[in-house]
Structure 1
């Protein structure tokens, strides 16, 4: 893929969601996102740059998963390690255990990375007795012995879904937190701006208000509006320091009228629109 600028790859696993007590079905996320995304046209307001980017965008398909969380995360890392830092990678999840496999790709490539997560949950829980899960990826990444995952920032958090000890754990490591209720367009831009380079942006669709995104692994109440969510996606796409992205936790098994899959696909669309504007 020497001429590719953007590479899409699917991670059709939700075994980590099951370990975390969530609702299974996110393994169908990559297929559902693609189905919605490929029905969308380039931005009609400025189609030339968007279309030019699509000409250099390659879909590498899904990695083969086994249901073994750790093995599948390493398989994702093996797949993307040659691309991180060289191409813009967009991973379609899958549960949020996707993130650890994604970040392992940077560790394997011996490249430093900073993390910007958009999520209702902090996802820095301890690894359980049964192993890694969808609530533990960023703790695992920050504790990886390579030290290549340099910092972690998270925006969109619900204070009733985050243990105070976990918020303290993030801050003690120099991380930044933005609560969902405090976010507007200006606050989103201000949160993205100081993110060190290079960065990975993770978009967990359960941060969006439940009526707009009912098909998720861990539903909640009081999330972000789609307008703010998509603004964050496009702003991260425009940010030159962000080198890879992921969209996770879309669960087509529990979706209604395909609205969550469409929103997840629109998240990718807005990332692409931001990239086209660089």
Structure 2
């Protein structure tokens, strides 16, 4: 784990007074996390994309997103802390995911919300393991008396429900397997598997994956079903899904957006879903509250940003805008 606060740099406007500040003037290192807030974590990893035969480069995503976020205007009330990056530079993806899970679990125990910058979409298995560990600890402590219903909401051009390879590598996941791994985890714990995936590119997902999604009861909608005319119906469907959940885990794979908006990804989308459609669908997620008044959303992560293929940092700016938008509403 490394924390480099030097990356948080940007413009200052002291002549405009205290309301002129930006993220880089407010962000604090995690060792100064005295109050409940939002903890940022980076997952620097290419291993999952490499195993999935994709274009590598996502390892460099976390600092690039931070740089784009640093100069954005501060419109927040809760503190935001930087917990640094987990580095997967030895090919041991499983160990890196385990370290991410520990950090996510620890942050949730400290009453923080968590935001993770990937990395390939293998980040999702690490993030969810952290949520799972946190809720299991609540169960063992007697603070969780019933089976937790975790809503997993993924905006993505792909299901990422692939089965791991057969044979001696059957336990090795990739950027294409995280929600398969999450489903198996839920099955072992006798927890329900509540998975919603919006933005699927049917041309990039086989019939086998659709069949598996149907068998597992996944709520999914293709990219051509996320239009302005159909938006009220999609919002209603997602709202109904959220109502059945106690907690939420939100993950956005940037390849859900059109390639013209998000060129810096492993698998650019020929069609994709417009940003304002995605933002409209994010509203019921970030606004959902449990019966005790706490926001249901525990963890949000951004996956598959690949600086190697970005144009004028526009995908980094998109990732930063999403993080900025969710952070304003996450608590």
TM > 0.5: yes
2:53 aligned residue = 21
2:179 aligned residue = 138
Q: Secondary structure at the match of 2:285?
A: helix
Q: Structure 1 residues 27, 152: CA separation in 2 closer, same or farther (over 3 Å shift)?
A: same
Kindly indicate whether residue 166 of structure 2 is the aligned counterpart of residue 125 of structure 1.
no
Q: Structure 1 residues 239, 174: CA separation in 2 closer, same or farther (over 3 Å shift)?
A: same
Q: Distance in 1 between matches of 2:158 and 2:124?
A: 13
Mind listing any 5+ residue stretches in structure 1 that lack a counterpart?
43-49
Kindly indicate whether residue 255 of structure 2 is the aligned counterpart of residue 255 of structure 1.
no
1:79 aligned residue = 103
Cα offsets for 1:183-240 (capped at 9, x unmatched): 1442442243122220101100000000110000111200011222333345432233
1:217 aligned residue = 266
Q: Structure 1 residues 258, 176: CA separation in 2 closer, same or farther (over 3 Å shift)?
A: same
Q: Distance in 2 between matches of 1:32 and 1:108?
A: 29
Q: Structure 1 residues 149, 246: CA separation in 2 closer, same or farther (over 3 Å shift)?
A: farther
Q: Structure 1 residues 84, 163: CA separation in 2 closer, same or farther (over 3 Å shift)?
A: farther
Q: TM-score, normalised to structure 2's length?
A: 0.76
> Which of 59-68 and 243-252 deviates more?
59-68
Q: Structure 1 residues 136, 149: CA separation in 2 closer, same or farther (over 3 Å shift)?
A: farther
Kindly indicate whether residue 118 of structure 2 is the aligned counterpart of residue 96 of structure 1.
no
Give the drift of 1:95: 0.2
Kindly indicate whether residue 48 of structure 2 is the aligned counterpart of residue 40 of structure 1.
no
Kindly indicate whether residue 153 of structure 2 is the aligned counterpart of residue 116 of structure 1.
yes
Q: Secondary structure at the match of 1:82?
A: helix
Kindly indicate whether residue 224 of structure 2 is the aligned counterpart of residue 181 of structure 1.
yes
Cα offsets for 1:98-132 (capped at 9, x unmatched): 00011111222234422010000000001125421
Question: Of the candidates 253, 261, 266, which is equivalent to residue 321 of structure 2?
Answer: 266
Q: Number of residues paired by the alignment?
A: 267
2:194 aligned residue = 151
Find the structure with the greater CA-based Rg: 2
Indicate conservation of the 8 Å contact 2:45/2:87, yes or no: no
Q: Secondary structure at the match of 2:327?
A: helix
Question: Of the candidates 77, 94, 110, which is equivalent to residue 52 of structure 1?
Answer: 77
User: Over the residues paired in the alignment, what is the CA RMSD in angstroms?
Assistant: 1.8
Indicate conservation of the 8 Å contact 1:236/1:271, yes or no: no
